[in-house]
């Protein structure tokens, strides 16, 4: 009997303790209608809006070397990574066939000059004959038929001189072209730089014309200035402007931030966009400032960045200094009661244990905070979570309890 009494007393004490604790913790009462929320302070911060993208490192100036004539490579004077000066000979293409063409063009020029001299002599003779016949015709010695024949012969001689002049000009042009092609068998560096992407060996044949790009033999790059080429989504490209600054992070240099500036923005979408769900991107080039990797240059190599390295870029598009802001997760949308087709940006505050909805106008945002331009001038705390409550469950006038201390 005593054991039963002791058990009953213990049970009562446990239930009473649970009841007291539950009352303090709001375990009981209107639990089904009460929403537990987390609060955050409304404070002033500097917000920097960014556009994020990824791309590849490449030299700011990179020239592809292709031949303007076809033939066999008989000499290759450079190797991958070699430094070259402007006009330095990179390689030679077999010139034999082009030397032969020059010789034939020279012979054609000489033949045209001889033909021109002969035509001029014939013209002088025809001119003298024409003048004599003209005198005889005025004296009525020559018949009209004979005079017409004399005129025709004079005009034929005159046209013969013009024709020989045109032939000589054509032959001289062919000779000039042949000499130029002969010079093109010697490939020279277009600028000071480093040989990259060497694709040929001695003995290989290359194809090239003056009108079209030929075999891509190598690149000559200036590595003093590097850039990063990125693809920016069409939703973000409108926020990117020339001379915007950016932070570049390269996988090979974890923890180091490179500084860059936007130097070129494509005005046409990249590639052909045919699919309905295909993402449209625009190319943006950013120059990486050499001053941002001076310490890397001294500890590793003169140019630590290599062409083809992967990089992520944060372009700083806008900056707002010391503006009122809240955590990004505190701002949500609700349907406008006056216009069902319109959505309003809102935040929720706590007033006397109930949620209070405030319609707000927002500005720029970063990864953590969003600027509040208007709508919360008279409050200093907003509801930031849980996500399900802020995004869907909360409405104006809900019973709420704060389950955690104020966060920011």
Q: What is the pLDDT of residues 10-46, one digit of tens each?
A: 666 666 665 555 555 544 444 457 888 888 898 898 8
What distances in angstroms separate CA 367 from CA 20, 48, 306, one per listed residue?
42, 9, 30
Asked whether residue 245 is assigned to any structural domain, the reply reads yes
Q: Which of 290, 319, 348 is the last residue of a domain?
A: 319
List Cβ neighbours of 20 (8 Å cut-off, separation of 6 or more). none
Q: Which of 271, 288, 319 is the last residue of a domain?
A: 319
Asked whether residue 1 is assigned to any structural domain, the reply reads no
- Nearest CA-CA partner of 197 in 337, 275, 308: 308
List Cβ neighbours of 358 (8 Å cut-off, separation of 6 or more). 346, 347, 348, 349, 375, 376, 379
Mean pLDDT value across residues 172-201: 91
d(CA 64, CA 33): 71
- Considering the domain architecture, whether residues 374 and 395 belong to the same structural domain is answered as yes
The predicted pLDDT at position 299 comes to 54
d(CA 292, CA 222): 18
- Nearest CA-CA partner of 69 in 184, 241, 232: 184
Number of domains in the chain: 4
Q: Which of 297, 319, 341 is the last residue of a domain?
A: 319
- Considering the domain architecture, whether residues 195 and 86 belong to the same structural domain is answered as yes
The predicted pLDDT at position 30 comes to 47
Checking if the pLDDT of 183 tops 90, the result is: yes
Q: Are 286 and 230 spatial neighbours (Cβ–Cβ below 8 Å)? A: yes
Asked whether residue 13 is assigned to any structural domain, the reply reads no
- Considering the domain architecture, whether residues 105 and 83 belong to the same structural domain is answered as no
Asked whether residue 397 is assigned to any structural domain, the reply reads yes
Asked whether residue 26 is assigned to any structural domain, the reply reads no
- Considering the domain architecture, whether residues 212 and 231 belong to the same structural domain is answered as no
Give the gyration radius of the chain's Cα atoms.
Answer: 43
Classify strands 186-188 and 281-288 as parallel, antiparallel or unpaired.
Answer: unpaired
Asked whether residue 366 is assigned to any structural domain, the reply reads yes
Asked whether residue 7 is assigned to any structural domain, the reply reads no
- DSSP 8-state assignment for residue 407: B
Q: Are 19 and 367 spatial neighbours (Cβ–Cβ below 8 Å)? A: no
- Considering the domain architecture, whether residues 294 and 239 belong to the same structural domain is answered as yes
- Considering the domain architecture, whether residues 80 and 99 belong to the same structural domain is answered as no
Q: At what angle do helices 144-183 and 96-138 cross, to 10 degrees?
A: 160
- Considering the domain architecture, whether residues 87 and 199 belong to the same structural domain is answered as yes
Residue with tokens 């077999």: 94
- Considering the domain architecture, whether residues 81 and 211 belong to the same structural domain is answered as yes
User: CATH no. for residue 249?
Assistant: 2.40.30.170
Q: Are 219 and 195 spatial neighbours (Cβ–Cβ below 8 Å)? A: yes
The predicted pLDDT at position 29 comes to 45
Residue burial 218-243, b: 16+ Cβ < 10 Å; e: rest = bbbbebeebbbbbbbeeebbeebeee
Residue 187 burial class via C-beta count within 10 angstroms: exposed 0-12, middle 13-18, buried 19 and up:
buried
Q: Are 376 and 347 spatial neighbours (Cβ–Cβ below 8 Å)? A: yes
What percent of the chain shows pLDDT beyond 70? 87
- Provide the domain limits for residue 357: 32-47+323-402
Confidence band (pLDDT; 50, 70, 90) for 403? confident
- Considering the domain architecture, whether residues 331 and 295 belong to the same structural domain is answered as no
Residue with tokens 């505190």: 330
- Considering the domain architecture, whether residues 328 and 395 belong to the same structural domain is answered as yes
- Considering the domain architecture, whether residues 229 and 315 belong to the same structural domain is answered as yes
pLDDT digits (tens, 9 = 90+) for 262-306: 999 998 887 655 555 577 889 999 999 988 888 886 655 567 888
Q: What are the tokens at 350? A: 């706590």
For the chain, what is the mean pLDDT? Answer: 83
Highest mean pLDDT: which range of 105-114, 144-153, 336-345: 105-114
Q: What are the tokens at 340? A: 């069902």
d(CA 184, CA 273): 40
Q: Are 214 and 66 spatial neighbours (Cβ–Cβ below 8 Å)? A: yes
What percent of the chain shows pLDDT beyond 90? 28
Classify strands 71-76 and 186-188 as parallel, antiparallel or unpaired.
Answer: unpaired
- Considering the domain architecture, whether residues 270 and 330 belong to the same structural domain is answered as no
Residue 278, Cα to own-chain centre: how many angstroms? 19
Asked whether residue 17 is assigned to any structural domain, the reply reads no
Largest CA distance in the chain: 172
């Amino acid at each position: 009997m005593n054991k039963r009494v002791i058990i009953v007393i213990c049970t009562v004490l446990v239930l009473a303790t649970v009841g007291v604790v539950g009352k303090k913790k709001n375990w009981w009462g209107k639990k089904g209608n009460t929403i537990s929320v987390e609060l955050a302070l409304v404070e002033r911060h500097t917000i920097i809006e960014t556009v994020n993208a990824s791309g590849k490192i490449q030299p700011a100036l990179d020239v592809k070397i292709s031949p303007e004539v076809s033939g066999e490579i008989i000499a290759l004077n450079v190797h991958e990574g070699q430094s070259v000066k402007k006009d330095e000979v990179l390689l030679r293409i077999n010139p034999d066939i082009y030397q032969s063409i020059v010789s034939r063009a020279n012979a054609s020029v000489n033949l045209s000059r001889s033909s021109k001299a002969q035509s001029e002599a014939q013209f002088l003779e025809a001119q003298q004959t024409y003048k004599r016949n003209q005198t005889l015709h005025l004296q009525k010695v020559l018949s009209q038929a004979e005079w017409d024949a004399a005129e025709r012969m004079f005009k034929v001689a005159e046209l013969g001189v013009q024709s020989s002049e045109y032939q000589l000009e054509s032959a001289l042009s062919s000779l000039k072209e042949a000499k130029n092609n002969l010079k093109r068998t010697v490939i020279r560096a277009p600028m000071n730089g480093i040989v990259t992407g060497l694709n040929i060996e001695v003995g290989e044949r290359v194809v090239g014309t003056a009108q079209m790009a030929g075999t891509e033999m190598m690149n000559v790059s200036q590595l003093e200035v590097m850039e990063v080429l990125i693809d920016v989504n069409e939703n973000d490209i409108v926020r990117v402007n020339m001379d915007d600054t950016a932070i570049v992070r390269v996988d090979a240099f974890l923890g180091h931030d490179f500084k860059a500036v936007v130097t070129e923005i494509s005005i046409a979408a990249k590639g052909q966009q045919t699919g309905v769900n295909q993402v449209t991107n625009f190319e943006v080039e950013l120059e990486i400032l050499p001053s941002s990797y001076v310490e890397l240059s001294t500890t590793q190599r003169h140019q630590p960045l290599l062409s083809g390295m992967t990089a992520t870029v944060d372009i700083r598009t806008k900056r707002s200094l010391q503006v009122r802001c809240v955590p990004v997760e505190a701002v949500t949308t609700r349907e406008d009661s006056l216009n069902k087709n319109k959505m309003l940006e809102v935040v929720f505050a706590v007033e006397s244990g109930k949620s209070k909805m405030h319609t707000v106008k927002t500005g720029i945002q970063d990864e953590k905070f969003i600027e509040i331009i208007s709508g919360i001038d008279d409050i200093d705390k907003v509801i930031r979570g849980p996500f399900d409550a802020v995004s869907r469950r909360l409405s104006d006038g809900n019973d709420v309890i704060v389950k955690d201390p104020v966060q920011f």
